[in-house]
Chain A
């Protein structure tokens, strides 16, 4: 796999938000909320990268920073050799059709005042304004048919569909411009389990057909295991581990990943009872004031003095596993 050049290559990406302390004067400096703090990864063509982590660890912010929907503090996002973060707005618009996004809440991500046909055709009309209306309609019907929505529904409105159907429409909207990358921001967490499986299988089929790359954000570890080639674990805006999916679930390297994996329930009550769950002490530290050195050290059972000194770099552990930890 390493002989190919990566489709997307993110280096040292930082996204900081300004947060004014409560009751602050206009001239006091804002605190920096480090939502994403130095993330590196490569994405190969045709690959699925799963991103997991608990709420507030920067998963969605990372996705939005790659799409340049939130401003980044530092770092580079190389997309086919171009740094997206330094492109002008106009040049960025050209690249937007190569990467599309699917959102968490299927109904909320569709404009309630527009018909399905208008919604799905919008990317096409934006990026190919010269297409004739009949060509647009043809493409819309084609892509709706592909995701399993009857094409004669194009005059219906989003509130007339179920959650699963809305998510399919969201997928159709992403597919219509034939992108190379789709970023899925928790696309199934708002859906029923049976619908989740349908949507994920649809995504996997389409990925195979079109040779897409996916970035798949989720907090459901079993879903991520099912769909991903590699998995990246985020903690407080930092990457703690990137690993081949199977390897990560078989032998998690980082203490945080170990705790996460041990918390996945087993769908068998007897086996689940005997399972050992690693409970982490304390709460997630505030991203406004993260711990020095390794951000996980305050909750880590193996922490040593060195952990407070400097941030552990991601190091290769073999089997395609990179872990950011001094101890293990």
Chain B
């Protein structure tokens, strides 16, 4: 009985709702939103994101957990690091002492900061320069493309490790020089990848449509080409960060990179390897742990992004 009475009322309500729906703007689901949903459901990638976030937090705020700093030398420990300098929770030296009697925990915090900065700055330079350079060359095509890409070929044919070492020797070993050196070479691969993608995108009909409309070239590149190749760029950039960190570590391992009193994961690992014979394995273990975990995290995230952004693989 009550149902029948309720019916006309409900009909009016439905009509009202329908009218409301017509007026309200429907929010669309972009390809980015789809990709985000796929990424969030990837367990390995999400665990990596959390782990990486913890490492970043550690590098930024790790110092406030410890009552010591990264410079003070504990003269009582010096010379007896193997026995007295072990990692211990009680005395507050969580990671023990390094070979010079400094608190290793704070040294690792400092090293993480520099290694992550090198990786991220290198990747950002690669993304910005490489994307714009590659997209411009690919879209304009013809002679401009040939000249721009031959230039990249020439840069690539010079062994970059040699250039980097030369740069560090000639201009002095400093953190700025490492940024410059890595930035100089990192965008080359990126520009090639982007150019290849641009060549395939520029023949798609929506680009033709934009040309027919009369959209200026730079706007076609920024609005139509770049957003459509950003997926590839993001994936490559996440894989580039660990490569940058590895490069910096290698340079530092050789002793040419970051100089004392600054440090990085590579420099710490290098010192750890030197003192391995004296039985102080924690010198190697702690920096290596952060290094390996970070690299793994980036690789898993890169993998997850690739799966999320490239729907063809599903």
Are A and B associated in one complex? yes
Q: List the interface of chain A (C-beta within 8 A of B).
A: 67, 69, 92-93, 96-97, 100-101, 103-105, 108-116, 122-123, 126-127, 150, 152-157, 159-160, 170, 173
- The reply to whether A67 and B25 form a contact with Cβ atoms under 8 Å apart is no
Shortest A104–chain B CB gap in Å is 7
- The reply to whether A97 and B214 form a contact with Cβ atoms under 8 Å apart is yes
- The reply to whether B205 and A104 form a contact with Cβ atoms under 8 Å apart is yes
7 A–B contacts, CB within 8 A, in A order: A93-B214, A101-B212, A108-B205, A113-B32, A114-B223, A115-B28, A152-B23
Instruction: Identify which of residues 21-46 in chain B touch chain A, using a CB-to-CB cut-off of 8 Å.
Output: 21-32
Residues on B with C-beta less than 8 A from A97 are 214
Bound-complex Cα distance A151 to B125 (A) = 41
B254 at the interface (CB under 8 A from A): no
Q: Across the interface, name the chain B residue whose C-beta is closest to A110.
A: B206
- The reply to whether B26 and A152 form a contact with Cβ atoms under 8 Å apart is yes
Given contacts A155-B27, A155-B28, A69 and B22 within 8 Å (CB-CB) = no
Shortest A221–chain B CB gap in Å is 24
Question: When the two chains form the complex, which single residue of B21, B28, B206, B211 contacts A157, counting CB atoms closer than 8 Å?
Answer: B28
Shortest B16–chain A CB gap in Å is 16
B224 at the interface (CB under 8 A from A): yes
Residues on B with C-beta less than 8 A from A155 are 25-28
B147 at the interface (CB under 8 A from A): no
Q: Across the interface, name the chain B residue whose C-beta is closest to A111.
A: B206
Bound-complex Cα distance A126 to B224 (A) = 14
Question: When the two chains form the complex, which single residue of A105, A114, A152, A153 contacts B205, counting CB atoms closer than 8 Å?
Answer: A105
- The reply to whether A96 and B23 form a contact with Cβ atoms under 8 Å apart is no
B174 at the interface (CB under 8 A from A): no
Question: When the two chains form the complex, which single residue of B23, B205, B228 contacts A113, counting CB atoms closer than 8 Å?
Answer: B228
Residues on B with C-beta less than 8 A from A109 are 205-206, 208-209
Residues on A with C-beta less than 8 A from B227 are 111, 113-114
Q: List the interface of chain B (C-beta within 8 A of A).
A: 21-32, 204-206, 208-216, 219, 223-224, 227-228
Question: When the two chains form the complex, which single residue of A69, A93, A114, A150 contacts B208, counting CB atoms closer than 8 Å?
Answer: A69
- The reply to whether B212 and A69 form a contact with Cβ atoms under 8 Å apart is yes
- The reply to whether A154 and B25 form a contact with Cβ atoms under 8 Å apart is yes
Bound-complex Cα distance A159 to B32 (A) = 12
Given contacts A122-B210, A126-B213, A127-B214, A112 and B228 within 8 Å (CB-CB) = yes
Shortest B268–chain A CB gap in Å is 43
> Apart from A112-B228, A153-B25, A155-B27, what 11 extra A-B contacts exist at CB < 8 Å?
A93-B214, A103-B208, A104-B205, A105-B205, A108-B204, A111-B206, A114-B223, A122-B210, A123-B214, A152-B26, A160-B28
Question: When the two chains form the complex, which single residue of B30, B31, B212, B219 contacts A100, counting CB atoms closer than 8 Å?
Answer: B212
- The reply to whether A152 and B213 form a contact with Cβ atoms under 8 Å apart is no
- The reply to whether B209 and A103 form a contact with Cβ atoms under 8 Å apart is yes
Residues on B with C-beta less than 8 A from A105 are 205
Q: Across the interface, name the chain A residue whose C-beta is closest to B213.
A: A123
Question: When the two chains form the complex, which single residue of B26, B28, B214 contacts A126, counting CB atoms closer than 8 Å?
Answer: B214
- The reply to whether A113 and B212 form a contact with Cβ atoms under 8 Å apart is no
Residues on B with C-beta less than 8 A from A122 are 210, 213, 215
- The reply to whether A152 and B224 form a contact with Cβ atoms under 8 Å apart is no
Q: Across the interface, name the chain A residue whose C-beta is closest to B25.
A: A152
- The reply to whether A157 and B214 form a contact with Cβ atoms under 8 Å apart is no
Q: Across the interface, name the chain A residue whose C-beta is closest to B27.
A: A155
Residues on B with C-beta less than 8 A from A101 are 209, 212
Residues on A with C-beta less than 8 A from B212 are 67, 69, 96, 100-101
Q: Which 5 A-B pairs have the closest CB atoms?
A: A96-B214, A156-B28, A109-B205, A113-B227, A108-B205
Residues on B with C-beta less than 8 A from A173 are 209, 213
Residues on B with C-beta less than 8 A from A112 are 31, 206, 228
Question: When the two chains form the complex, which single residue of A96, A113, A123 contacts B31, counting CB atoms closer than 8 Å?
Answer: A113
Q: Across the interface, name the chain A residue whose C-beta is closest to B204.
A: A108
Residues on B with C-beta less than 8 A from A110 are 206, 209
Q: Across the interface, name the chain A residue whose C-beta is closest to B201.
A: A111
- The reply to whether B211 and A69 form a contact with Cβ atoms under 8 Å apart is yes
Which residue among A111, A127, A152 has the maximum number of chain B CB atoms within 10 Å of its CB? Answer: A111
Residues on A with C-beta less than 8 A from B223 are 111, 114
Shortest B139–chain A CB gap in Å is 14
- The reply to whether A157 and B25 form a contact with Cβ atoms under 8 Å apart is no
Which residue among B24, B28, B32, B215 has the maximum number of chain A CB atoms within 10 Å of its CB? Answer: B28
Residues on B with C-beta less than 8 A from A96 are 212-214
Shortest A60–chain B CB gap in Å is 10
Residues on A with C-beta less than 8 A from B31 are 112-113, 157, 159
Residues on A with C-beta less than 8 A from B32 are 113
Bound-complex Cα distance A114 to B23 (A) = 22
Q: Across the interface, name the chain A residue whose C-beta is closest to B214.
A: A96
Shortest B207–chain A CB gap in Å is 8
Question: When the two chains form the complex, which single residue of A111, A153, A157 contacts B228, counting CB atoms closer than 8 Å?
Answer: A111
Bound-complex Cα distance A156 to B215 (A) = 22
- The reply to whether B24 and A152 form a contact with Cβ atoms under 8 Å apart is yes
Residues on B with C-beta less than 8 A from A150 are 22
Bound-complex Cα distance A186 to B224 (A) = 23
Q: Across the interface, name the chain A residue whose C-beta is closest to B217.
A: A89
Residues on A with C-beta less than 8 A from B216 are 93, 126
Residues on B with C-beta less than 8 A from A93 are 214, 216
Bound-complex Cα distance A150 to B214 (A) = 27
Shortest B287–chain A CB gap in Å is 41
Residues on A with C-beta less than 8 A from B210 are 111, 122
Bound-complex Cα distance A69 to B31 (A) = 29
Bound-complex Cα distance A92 to B224 (A) = 21
